[in-house]
Amino acid sequence: MKWLDCDSCDQDIVVSSRIRLARNIENIKFPQKINKDDSESVKEQIKKAVTENDEIGKNYRYYDMKNLNIVESRKYVEDHLISPGLLEHNKIGGFLLSEDEKSTIMINEEDHIRMQVLYPGFELEKCFDESNRIDDILEGKIKYAFDEKIGYLTSCPTNIGTGMRASVMLHLPSLVITNQINGIIQAVNQIGLTVRGVYGEGSNAMGNLFQISNQTTIGESEDDIIQKLKNIVNQLVKNERNARSTIYTNNKIRMEDKVCRSLGTLKNARILSTDEAMSLLSDVKLGIEMSIIDNIDRVIINKLMIEIQPAHILNSADKDLDANDRDILRAKIVRESLEEEVIK
């Protein structure tokens, strides 16, 4: 996935930021109830609005869910480029993906339009500005389902109002090690935000990757939502940095040992499950952020955390693989990409 390329601020802890806007076209039923003709009409209207636009049209490519096999579609989900929900609408769904992969406009997911903008690092404003630009372009051609009092109308009431979901992906290994994460998840939930594992749930999040996002979309402006999320993320970044520094101060050599062993296993194992690989990559990522490891680029690890997911592994093989063969291929892919890096 290209979207992770480039360095940005706070990337030692914040892996990525995302804004997603839900929109629907006036007077057409939501995708769950839509008929064939209307679903085609929705697709055509949105494709046309984007691809015929002078400013952004040339940057987008359209993918129809019907034309993707299950491995390809899942790979886009693992890349965070489309939602798992779009897989469930594979008969009527499609998406427009920008050249730099930072922006996706999903069609006929839960809503007619789900546009998302993704940036590496802590870049909510960039995401918001870009999603607004796309939103404006679409709104120039399409009449949105909108209510003056409520705001944007959406298929599920949890998105109504702004239709906006702002989220940030964080790497919080030290809050997990020091058992602070469960308390934090509870506290964050109480103030209207949600924390969940990016892969896996709660404190068993694979790779210690957590996504924090706004729960409510109504009663607050977009700016308020983003500001609130930023405040909490800043707090979590501070907590994680403190925990890292405490662990390192109290037991430098044990932390170095753990990080270096994990790198050694990644560079040498012949069999690697997704779970184990995520856990080892999390250690190595922490090692890079703590300057214990200095010859591997963090982007390589961020990408590997995606590239070792099951659909990516299946996609790398020419044939169908059972779980055991996937684990063998996963180990090979990890080994080769770390070998290349270390030699540089």
Instruction: Point out which residues bind a copy of itself (CB under 8 A).
Output: 253-254, 256-257, 260-261, 263-271, 328, 331
CA–CA gap between residue 197 and residue 124 (Å, rounded): 19
Task: Compute the half-sphere exposure of residue 129: CA atoms within 13 Å on the CB side of its CA.
Answer: 5
194: exposed, middle or buried (C-beta count within 10 Å: 0-12, 13-18, 19+)?
A: middle
Q: Minimum distance from CB of 276 to a copy of itself (Å)? A: 11
Q: Minimum distance from CB of 273 to a copy of itself (Å)? A: 11
Instruction: Report which residue type is found at 205.
Output: A
Q: Structure tokens of 107? A: 């069609």
CA–CA gap between residue 138 and residue 17 (Å, rounded): 22
Residue in 124, 103, 110, 182 with CA at minimum distance from that of residue 153: 110
Flag whether 18 is marked binding.
yes
Task: Report DSSP state, residue 25.
Answer: B
Flag whether 17 is marked binding.
yes
Q: Which helix (H) or strand (E) holds 18?
A: strand 14-23
Q: Minimum distance from CB of 66 to a copy of itself (Å)? A: 38
Compare residues 157 and 264 and give the one whose CB is closer to a copy of itself: 264
Flag whether 19 is marked binding.
yes
Flag whether 117 is marked binding.
no
Flag whether 166 is marked binding.
yes
Compare residues 193 and 333 and give the one whose CB is closer to a copy of itself: 333
Compare residues 2 and 254 and give the one whose CB is closer to a copy of itself: 254
Flag whether 199 is marked binding.
yes
Say how many residues make up the chain. 344
Q: Minimum distance from CB of 200 to a copy of itself (Å)? A: 23
Flag whether 197 is marked binding.
yes
Q: Which residues of 51-82 are buried (b: 16+ CB within 10 A; e: fewer)?
A: eebeebeebbebbebeebeeeebbbbbbbbbb
Q: Tell me how far CA of residue 20 lies from CA of 82, 87, 105, 128, 256, in angstroms.
A: 11, 17, 9, 9, 38
Q: Which helix (H) or strand (E) holds 146?
A: strand 146-147
Q: Minimum distance from CB of 328 to a copy of itself (Å)? A: 6
Compare residues 204 and 268 and give the one whose CB is closer to a copy of itself: 268
Q: Minimum distance from CB of 132 to a copy of itself (Å)? A: 47
Q: Minimum distance from CB of 13 to a copy of itself (Å)? A: 24
Flag whether 201 is marked binding.
yes
Compare residues 47 and 335 and give the one whose CB is closer to a copy of itself: 335
Compare residues 188 and 313 and give the one whose CB is closer to a copy of itself: 313
Residue in 241, 285, 6, 226 with CA at minimum distance from that of residue 120: 6
Flag whether 334 is marked binding.
no
Q: Which residues pair with 167 in a beta bridge?
A: 18, 213
Compare residues 90 and 273 and give the one whose CB is closer to a copy of itself: 273
From the annotation, which residues make up the binding site for ATP? 16-20, 80, 114, 165-169, 196-201
Annotated binding site: 16-20, 80, 114, 165-169, 196-201
